[in-house]
Amino acid sequence: MNANQTGAALLLDGRRDDDPTLALAHDALADGLAAGGWAVDDWTLRDDKIAWCAGCFKCWTQTPGVCAHHDEGRTVAERWTRSDLTVLLTPVTFGGYSSELKKALDHVLPILQPFMQKRRGETRHPQRYARRRDLLVVGAVPAGQAEGPEAVTFRRLVERNTLNMQPPRWAVGVLESGAGDWEVRVAVDGLLAEVGVKPARDAVGAGRREVVA
Amino acid sequence: MSAPRKALLLVGSPKPGASTSESLGAYLFEELEKRGVATQTMHVAKAVRTEETVEELRAAASSADLIVLSFPLYIDSLPAPTIRALEVLAEPPVGPAAFVAICQSGFPEVDHNEVAVEICRHFAEDAGFEWAGGLILAAGGMIGGQPLRKLQGMMRSAIKALDLTAEALAAGRSVPDEAVQLMAKPPIPKIGYRFMANWGWRSQFKKRGRGGSLKDQPYA
């Protein structure tokens, strides 16, 4: 996609509670995407019962590309595949994703093929679909910990995800609890810009460095 | 850490049947039992199902001196129910047991698993546990949920690693570096493992597949 193209965005909202910073981030993401002309599939995961991925590999060996579970988990791969941009929102949980986000993320396995190939020194599964989507990940940590060890692990995790999912563009941001509405919007707009989304509002600019590393 | 009297194995695989994570954990716990440690095993996918089972999980964790979490790698991290289990153990913290992680994946390189073990270390610190080390097994597909003792020769490095780990943990010491290195040793050359894995997927599809191809694109 070129710099200002619009498209379909899947927003996987992995909040476990009503954390104010993540609530602001959610609204800034949804509003920013909508303002930029994007169609947003805004999915609050805690509202849906999604069975844990059982690791049965039926999505590889029985019905390739389709999860065997007959619940909302089955729609994850479809909604992911049909998006141009996937946005993950989560409290940084021990340096990783929340269980709410992960219960959906575990169901993206069928977007990969089962085969193993060596790629840049490591074994990887090939992509099932030629068309890729960009990836934006936004997490929140307690105040003063945007450069802390869990934030560092979080960024490493996102980087590992990108090695396997191969998004054309990706960005990761870590917000600190207690950040105000303006700070969050500036940070989110900066991150959206990194994946080619230009929100039609005047918020991008100074201040991003204070809340996003 | 001190020598444990009671150890809790948390099986992090969401699989309802036999799993490689359980094979690894079960072997380690048999070795701990031989050394006089009382053991208990819980499957996290069941343990996080209801408020009652969560309380059982928290009670088991708070009464243990040593907790071992054995889990498969899911999307570069821990499976969702395993993360859920860690969340409930940290809210509020139930420490101060020693905590060990064993992470295995189907990839033949251990690099894929390092972030997941790092997440476990952060959890241990946040939940008031004492981090006692992590082991990573690559090429977990070689075990395929079978008991480790049945495989013996092929998995001798992993078995030796777990023997050393049991000896150290039972004596109140952390996972030794030698065990970490032995566990990380691929059981067969990576190129051979990839060949076997790809053959295995094709073979499974022939038996179980419902038409089409392994490369089907249902949402194209």
CATH number at B173 reads 3.40.50.360
Average model confidence (pLDDT) across chain A: 91
Facing B115 at nearest CB: one of A108, A122, A153:
A153
**Contact yes or no for B80 and A77 at CB 8 A:** no
Q: Average pLDDT of A37-53?
A: 95
Answer yes or no: do A53 and B14 touch at CB < 8 A: yes
Q: Among B43, B48, B49, B118, pick the best mutation site for testing chain A contact (most A Cβ within 10 A).
A: B118
B90 in any annotated domain:
yes
Domain with B150, as residue range(s), is 6-208
| pLDDT at B138 (0 to 100) | 92
User: Where does the pLDDT of residue A149 fall: very low under 50, low under 70, confident under 90, or very high at 90 and above?
Assistant: very high
Spell out which residues of chain B touch residue A149, defining contact as CB-CB under 8 Å.
Answer: 122
Among the partner residues A62, A102, A118, nearest to B208 by beta-carbon distance:
A62
Residue type, position B139, single letter: A
Whether B107 is in a domain gets the answer: yes
DSSP one-letter string for A89-158: EEE-BTTB--HHHHHHHGGGGGGB-S--EEETTEEEPPBSSS---EEEEEEEE-TT-TTSHHHHHHHHHH
Give CA separation, B204 vs A3, A63, B18, in Å: 43, 12, 18
Residue B113 in contact with residue B71, Cβ under 8 Å?
no
Instruction: Name the most confidently modeled range: A3-7, A158-162, A196-200.
Output: A158-162
Query: Which of A64, A106, A153 minimises the CB distance to B213?
Result: A64
pLDDT value for B177: 98
Under 8 Å between Cβ of B69 and B99: yes
Chain B: residue whose CA lies nearest to A149: B122
Mean pLDDT of A124-141: 96
What is the value of pTM for the model shown? Answer: 0.95
Residue A76 pLDDT: 96
> Residue A96 has which token pair?
């990783």
Question: Cβ A94–B119 below 8 Å, yes or no?
Answer: yes
* pLDDT mean for each 10 residues of chain B (220 residues): 95 94 98 98 97 97 97 98 98 92 96 98 96 96 92 90 98 98 92 95 91 92
CB contact (8 A) between residue B115 and residue A150: no
Q: Confirm whether B22 is domain-assigned.
A: yes
Indicate yes or no: CB of A123 within 8 angstroms of CB of B216.
Answer: no
Residue B215 lies in a domain: no
Name every residue whose Cβ is closer than 8 Å to that of residue B199 and which is 6 or more positions away in sequence.
Answer: none
CA distances to A18, A59, B118 from B209, in Å: 43, 10, 37
Residue B98 in any domain: the answer is: yes
B149: tokens are: 């003792």
Segment 51-110 of chain B within 8 Å of chain A by CB: 72, 74-81, 83-84, 86-87, 90, 107-109
| Cα–Cα distance, A167 to A114 (Å, whole number) | 19
Backbone angles phi and psi of B73, in degrees to 5: -80, 130
**pLDDT exceeds 90 at position A3:** no
> Cα distance from A105 to chain B (closest Cα, Å)?
7
Confidence of residue A190 (pLDDT cuts 50, 70, 90): very high
Number of structural domains (chain B) is 1
Straight-line distance from the first to the last Cα atom of chain B, in angstroms, rounded to the nearest whole number: 54
For residue B216, being part of any structural domain is answered with no
Report whether pLDDT(A205) > 80. Answer: no
Q: A92-106, A191-205, B25-39, B176-190: lowest mean pLDDT where?
A: A191-205
pLDDT band at residue A143, thresholds of 50, 70 and 90? very high
B212 touches chain A (CB under 8 A): yes
Residue A7 in contact with residue A168, Cβ under 8 Å?
A: no
In a domain, B220, yes or no: no
pLDDT at residue B21, as a whole number? 97
pLDDT given at position A201? 64
Q: So what's the architecture of A8-55+82-109+134-211 in CATH?
A: 3-Layer(aba) Sandwich (3.40)
Indicate if the alpha-carbon torsion angle A161, B19, A103, B50 is positive or negative: negative
